[in-house]
Amino acid sequence: MSEKKYEVEFLNNDDGRFLLFGGLANYHECFIEQEENNEGYWQQYFTEQEIKSIDERYWQFAVPVEDGE
């Protein structure tokens, strides 16, 4: 069984969802952007440990990802 994954959702409104994204190979390159602008080049699903290693304050914005997403 794989580790539970989360999205870090900072804002969800009429303009869309603003999420934390990271480089696929390097989490030191992280930014917040609208979900619709991710064309698969950026990581948007993280484990609890990954989120907390980026910034522990982000954990409060973590939203569980459903299986199959």
- The H or E element that residue 19 is part of is strand 16-23
The pLDDT assigned to 33 comes to 94
The pLDDT assigned to 40 comes to 84
For the chain, give every domain's residue range: 6-64
First to last CA, the chain: 16
pLDDT digits (tens, 9 = 90+) for 29-69: 899 999 999 888 899 999 999 999 999 999 999 999 987 56
CB distance 64 to 47 below 8 Å: no
Please tell me the pTM assigned to this model: 0.84
- The H or E element that residue 34 is part of is strand 30-34
Position 26 confidence tier, pLDDT thresholds 50, 70, 90: low
